[in-house]
């Protein structure tokens, strides 16, 4: 009979040989993985968010074997199909896409490579997936569009600027999600007694035309919808709001430090971290069409009190208490 210590040692050796010394979830994943990342906006914003995705992948056990090929359209949507084609030709294992326009471009280029969305508004309404519960096809991931988020943004603006009965909505008509956001804003406006005026902007020249409309329509506030093209023109949008002394609320917190009044939207870092879980499941063999689309679970309200004072606004205490971050 083998002595007890020798038997224990033999069992340990056998366990190591069979690869069960660590649970599967704890074993390092150094297999070569090539991911493609496609964004309609510029690297300055997306790389900060992509860092959250990379961090989540490391937490899931992925190491130096992961390579991410990055492509950015810098607000020029017409470049997305060619950039998506480049990534497909690179033979990526999974395509990670930031928003609905990149997802649409990627879906047109490939029906085989899995596509994971980090933040796409209304993927059902834009035809990306069949349903949130059962996406079907090769697209899955996360939506940045929670129920009631549009109404909440307009409601916050109404509380801060009760005199604003006419509000301009700056949108990008080239983004399939923007007409949906505009319609929901109009619906919310009717219930709040606010008239909504669409300000379409594809370029800086369009922003100049929007400026004339602001003056003509005597708009009392500005609501900027979520769009990477508008995000790429953030400084120009802030200049437009500043020129007309318009209180402006944004979908993302980018630019609030630079003079925007408020932002209300999902925590995008959280969405990118959660996207890593989708990539992990797909690399383990899950089919994207079987993975339900997730919606935001938390939202972030950022308030710039310096801008409020510069505009002569008094922020109601009930609104200030709701803010997750206040810039003094």
Residues 164 and 287 placed together within one structural domain of the fold: no
Do the bridges between strand 262-266 and strand 221-224 make them parallel or antiparallel, or are there none, so unpaired?
unpaired
Residues 164 and 125 placed together within one structural domain of the fold: no
Note the pLDDT of residue 21.
38
> Of 328, 289, 322, nearest to 305 (Cα)?
328
Residues 252 and 197 placed together within one structural domain of the fold: yes
Residues 38 and 74 placed together within one structural domain of the fold: yes
What is the length of the chain?
A: 328
Q: Is residue 12 part of a domain?
A: no
Residues 68 and 197 placed together within one structural domain of the fold: no
> How many domains are there within the chain?
2
Q: Where would I find the H helices in 35-78?
A: 43-59
Q: Is residue 307 part of a domain?
A: yes
Residues 135 and 59 placed together within one structural domain of the fold: yes
Note the pLDDT of residue 30.
53
Residues 78 and 102 placed together within one structural domain of the fold: yes
pTM for the structure as a whole: 0.85
Q: Is residue 250 part of a domain?
A: yes
Q: The CATH number of the domain where 90 resides is what?
A: 3.40.50.2300
Residues 137 and 105 placed together within one structural domain of the fold: yes
Question: What average pLDDT values come out for the chain (328 residues) when binned by 10 residues?
Answer: 40 39 42 93 89 96 94 93 98 96 96 96 92 96 85 94 95 88 92 95 91 93 90 91 95 88 94 97 97 92 96 96 95
Residues 58 and 162 placed together within one structural domain of the fold: no
Neighbour-count burial for 271-292, b at 16+ CB within 10 Å, e otherwise = bbbbbbbbbbbbbeeeebeebe
Note the pLDDT of residue 20.
40
Note the pLDDT of residue 70.
97
Note the pLDDT of residue 13.
41
Containing domain of residue 176, as a range?
149-266+300-327
Residues 105 and 174 placed together within one structural domain of the fold: no
- 220 contacts 161 by C-beta, under 8 angstroms: yes
Note the pLDDT of residue 298.
86
Residues 85 and 126 placed together within one structural domain of the fold: yes
Residues 6+ apart with CB under 8 A from 223: 153, 154, 157, 167, 168, 169, 170, 185, 248, 249
């Amino acid at each position: 009979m083998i002595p007890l210590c020798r038997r224990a040692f033999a069992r340990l050796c056998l366990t190591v040989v069979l690869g069960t010394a660590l649970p599967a979830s704890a074993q390092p994943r150094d297999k070569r993985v090539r991911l493609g990342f496609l964004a309609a906006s510029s690297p300055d914003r997306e790389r900060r968010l992509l860092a959250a995705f990379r961090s989540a992948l490391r937490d899931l056990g992925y190491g130096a074997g992961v390579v991410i090929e990055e492509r950015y359209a810098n607000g020029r949507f017409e470049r997305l199909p060619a950039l998506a084609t480049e990534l497909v030709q690179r033979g990526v294992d999974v395509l990670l896409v930031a928003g609905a326009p990149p997802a649409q471009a990627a879906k047109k280029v490939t029906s085989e490579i899995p596509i994971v969305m980090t933040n796409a508004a209304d993927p059902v309404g834009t035809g990306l997936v069949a349903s949130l519960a059962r996406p079907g096809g090769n697209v899955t991931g996360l939506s940045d569009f929670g129920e009631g988020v549009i109404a909440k943004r307009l409601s916050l603006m109404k509380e801060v600027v009760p005199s604003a009965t006419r509000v301009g909505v700056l949108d990008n008509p080239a983004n399939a999600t923007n007409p949906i956001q505009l319609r929901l804003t109009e619906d919310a406006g009717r219930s709040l007694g606010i008239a909504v005026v669409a300000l379409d902007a594809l370029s800086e020249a369009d922003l100049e035309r929007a400026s004339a409309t602001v003056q003509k329509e005597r708009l009392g506030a500005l609501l900027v919808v979520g769009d990477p093209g508008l995000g790429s023109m953030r400084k120009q949008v802030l200049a437009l709001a500043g020129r007309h002394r318009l209180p402006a609320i944004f979908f993302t917190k980018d630019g609030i430090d630079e003079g925007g009044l408020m932002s209300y939207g999902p925590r995008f870092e959280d969405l990118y971290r959660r996207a890593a879980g989708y990539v992990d499941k797909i690399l383990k063999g899950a089919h994207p069409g079987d993975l339900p689309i997730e919606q935001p679970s938390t939202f972030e309200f950022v308030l710039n009190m310096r801008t409020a004072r510069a505009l002569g606004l008094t922020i109601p205490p009930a609104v200030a208490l709701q803010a997750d971050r206040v810039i003094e």
